[in-house]
Amino acid sequence: MDTDGIRLQSSRKRQQRCRGLPASYTVEASYVMTIVILSLSFMIGAAYENCRRITGVMRLHQMVEFVRLQEDGENRKFAFQTVSGSARREGDKAYGTVSDGSWAKTIESDVHRPESMMRMLTVFDNASEGENGDDGA
């Protein structure tokens, strides 16, 4: 009799532990998890798209800087994944464009002229000497 009483108590305890939640909670949770997983997948896709755009613009800046320091008429092209671009130098300007099917970016930069910087420094140096009253005599 004691063993039957113990068996009944243990089976009742098992039944109480195994009951769990009603089925409506699990159906609602599956809907919520579906929405959460879909939103996460869209956010990850958007992050990869943003990374590709930023990488393309950084590559464009690098190519424009390279072309800017080269001889006149220098042209460069680059491509990776779906992004393609080109950089060229014409006269005193360097131009660059990068594009994908949905966006495009253009950069225009002046060519580096160290001699003009040296001229400006000389002019400023002479102007500062003239303000101090030094006439050289």
Give domain limits for the chain. Answer: 22-129
pLDDT tens figures, 8-21: 566 666 666 656 65
Of 77, 96, 97, 81, the C-alpha closest to 48 is 81
pLDDT in tens, 83-119: 889 999 888 888 999 998 888 999 998 877 677 777 7
- Distant-in-sequence, close-in-space partners of 50: CB < 8 Å, separation ≥ 6: none
